[in-house]
Chains A and B, each alone.
Chain A
Amino acid sequence: MSIGAARYSGFLAPGAWAINTQLGLMLPYVDCASNTGWTAFATLAATLLALTGVFLSRDDGSSTASRTKLFISWLNVLLGLAFVFALVLQGAATLLLSGCER
């Protein structure tokens, strides 16, 4: 993967977290009204997307990569893990709350 591709895989995890955070303000109303689990589903999908970003970034850090490329790759891995952690915490909330609690 090129340096550019590695850089873009690093956007997956923060992007997934940002979208899921926004959905967290919208979907609980739907879940409460329709008795659905869209918030939990969206969080699961975002977590998987973030993990994909982490793995793509990790794959790019082969032993033959240049110093800068390795730096970007590992930076993206660590960054991705931070957002995966945030998403896991958000996922835990979807398991505990239905969306109707005020």
Chain B
Amino acid sequence: MTTERRSSAATDVDLDDAELDRQLDRTWAGRTSFWGAIAAVDHKVIARRYIVTAFVFLILGGMLALAMRIQLAQPEARFINADRYNQIFTMHGSNMMFLFAVPVMEAMAVYLVPLMVGTRNIAFPRLNAFSYWVFLAGGILLWISFALDTAPDVGWFAYVPLSGPEYGSGKRADVWAQMITFTELSALAVAVEIVVTVLKQRAPGMSLDRIPLLVWSMLVMAFVVIMAMPAIMFESSTLIMDRLVGTQFYNPAEGGDVLLWQHLFWFFGHPEVYIIFLPAVGMVSTILPTFVQRPIFGYLPVVMALIATGVLAFGLWVHHMFVIGLPRLAESFFTASSMAIAIPAGVQIFCWLATLWAGRPIFKTPLLFVIGFIITFVIGGLTGVMVASVPFDAQVHDTYFVVAHFHYVLIGGAVFPLIAGIYYWFPKMTGRMMSERLGQWSFWLIFVGFNLTFFPMHILGLQGMPRRIYTYQPEMPWGGLNLFISLSAVILFSGFLVFFIDVARSWSAGRPAGQNPWNASTLEWAMNSPPPPYNFRRIPVVDARDPLWCGSDELPVASGLRTDRRELLISSVVEALPEARESSPRDSVWPFWAAIATSIMLIWSIFSPWAIVWGSIPIAITLIGWFWPKGIAEDES
């Protein structure tokens, strides 16, 4: 019966474009009801939700930053008290790292990777939907705790013993720990999807040496997530156990080790920087060639740099711990690796400069943000080499010098390319162009505001101003610079305001974008904007690194996929040779219910260890519903 059904199955062979579009739309389009939206598993829909939610968290985190700047604008200010300030800087760091930076980068991957590798949906699309709901629940947990004055107040790193049962009273540290569990669970799920999509769902012909650089960067980022995140999930779980069950992982009096916390945290925490930075490298390496209209200079060295950075990222963590008393020789090993990672970073920058040099730059908004990125990231990289040196780091440790350094690296190294990416891919995502005039305003306000805000923090740090203080005495020589920084932050804030106004305005009333408004070379521009639910009418066959710049008007395509069920082409890892046809799951509300059950269990476990036992039952039920065969065509293997 199965054979008979297969032989009579509808495929895309011998169908004209209009009929094929109609059949694919019927199979791949989601329902337009409320529950249809909840059940959606289209990678583009999930990614848009991720991106919008992450930017909401960016706005909220930015508000906290402004509040801190108001407090620090003058000595002995009384705008925020010490306890609230502790919550605010903890919220700011945790929010920006766990609720904005990592999710938004993964969301860009969720949207772009399937389009760029030429497939119809991401691998494990229901897991993708689940990951979004879990991420949302983690964010809501953190912000509700802030509204209730029970937000974490132990820094984004939550060092023990401050966050342990001895000193961290109430539930503040528990909220931090469970927010971590939520967001890292979500991040790990997305990372697995990206790895499988890139390795097994590439279009025929897209061998390893033809993978777009953005996809390479997302692949490396996903591996780094898979290697790094378990360390902090272990930490958050053991912290909860120390606080709730009475285990002694971090209590030296009972054989535990407080330094274990720091090792585990920074084994995750330093790669975290590269989890954010590597996608940015991919974005820059994709945007730059388009705006000079020539292929990237040094594809191979850039791929090498991406992989080398991803691996070296795991050998730098001790440079966050240079003042804990390790042997100098051990510290020097980490100085060595911290210096060595400047090599792949330098290779990337020289490749970008060579690409710019050899092409004809078109100074549109995305390219401006890319150039702004190169400038700020080089400054951040230079101070990074400085703080990798043990004697220098011992002097500036926990001062505003470090605050300046990591904002140069994180905002310069990730937010600038991200905004470039939003300007660049917004036409693809929405079908509408953003305003070039507002884009230029936004760039200059952000670029000038950023440098005026954060560069003086280097000087403040060298003058000895410590991090995480809620106020300072008038006798200290920091007042003038702090006022200047706070005023500059308003310029930076106004730049982001212009950007968000541009997004809102363009989404509803922007100029229609068309299929490929930038004359770009990668596959996501080979379809309508926004893309249809099935992405590609027929799966493209790739015969070059820049498939849309090969001179031909039409891409070669593969045919033979079924149109009556959601079906993907599976290909080999190295050469991307077609291997099999595989079904892709249909929409389902079960990931949503599984996320709700998971959220109940995780939040409940803040208060009772029995939540793990009883909370597992609803999770098991939702998972059974998730995987239970539904008697549809996609159930066939």
- CB-based contact B329/A68 at 8 Å: no
- CB-based contact B574/A90 at 8 Å: no
Q: How far is the CB of A81 from chain B (nearest CB, A)?
A: 9
A14 within 8 A of B: yes
- CB-based contact B332/A97 at 8 Å: yes
When chains A and B are docked, how far (Å) is the Cα of A78 from the Cα of B304?
A: 6
Q: How far is the CB of A6 from chain B (nearest CB, A)?
A: 10
A5 within 8 A of B: no
Chain B interfacial residues counted at CB < 8 A = 32
B residues 70-101 with Cβ under 8 Å of A?
Answer: none
B144 within 8 A of A: no
- CB-based contact B315/A86 at 8 Å: yes
When chains A and B are docked, how far (Å) is the Cα of A92 from the Cα of B333?
A: 9
Q: How far is the CB of A71 from chain B (nearest CB, A)?
A: 4
- CB-based contact A78/B315 at 8 Å: no
- CB-based contact B336/A101 at 8 Å: no
- CB-based contact A75/B315 at 8 Å: no
Q: Select from chain B the residue with minimum beta-carbon distance to A86.
A: B340
Contact size range, A: 35 or more
Taking CB atoms, residues of chain B closer than 8 Å to A25 are 318, 326, 330, 333
Taking CB atoms, residues of chain A closer than 8 Å to B337 are 17, 21, 86, 89-90
Q: Select from chain A the residue with minimum beta-carbon distance to B326.
A: A25
Taking CB atoms, residues of chain A closer than 8 Å to B207 are 67-68, 71
Taking CB atoms, residues of chain B closer than 8 Å to A74 are 300
- CB-based contact B332/A82 at 8 Å: no
- CB-based contact B300/A93 at 8 Å: no
A45 within 8 A of B: no
Q: How far is the CB of A86 from chain B (nearest CB, A)?
A: 4
- CB-based contact A86/B574 at 8 Å: no
- CB-based contact B208/A68 at 8 Å: yes
B residues 298-326 with Cβ under 8 Å of A?
Answer: 300-301, 303-304, 307-308, 311-312, 314-315, 318, 325-326
Give the residue of A18, A90, A102 whose beta carbon is less than 8 angstroms from that of B336: A90
Taking CB atoms, residues of chain B closer than 8 Å to A101 are 327-329
- CB-based contact B329/A97 at 8 Å: yes
B135 within 8 A of A: no
Q: How far is the CB of B344 from chain A (nearest CB, A)?
A: 6
- CB-based contact B304/A21 at 8 Å: no
B635 within 8 A of A: no
The interface bits of chain B over 330-355 (1 if a CB of A lies within 8 angstroms of the residue's CB, else 0) are 10111111011001100000000000
- CB-based contact B311/A71 at 8 Å: no
- CB-based contact B333/A82 at 8 Å: no
Q: How far is the CB of B621 from chain A (nearest CB, A)?
A: 42
17 contacts between A and B (CB under 8 A): A14-B311, A21-B334, A25-B326, A39-B329, A71-B209, A71-B300, A79-B307, A82-B312, A82-B340, A86-B337, A89-B336, A93-B329, A94-B329, A96-B332, A97-B329, A97-B332, A100-B327
Interface residues in chain B, defined as those with a beta carbon under 8 Å from any beta carbon in chain A: 207-209, 300-301, 303-304, 307-308, 311-312, 314-315, 318, 325-330, 332-337, 339-340, 343-344, 574-575
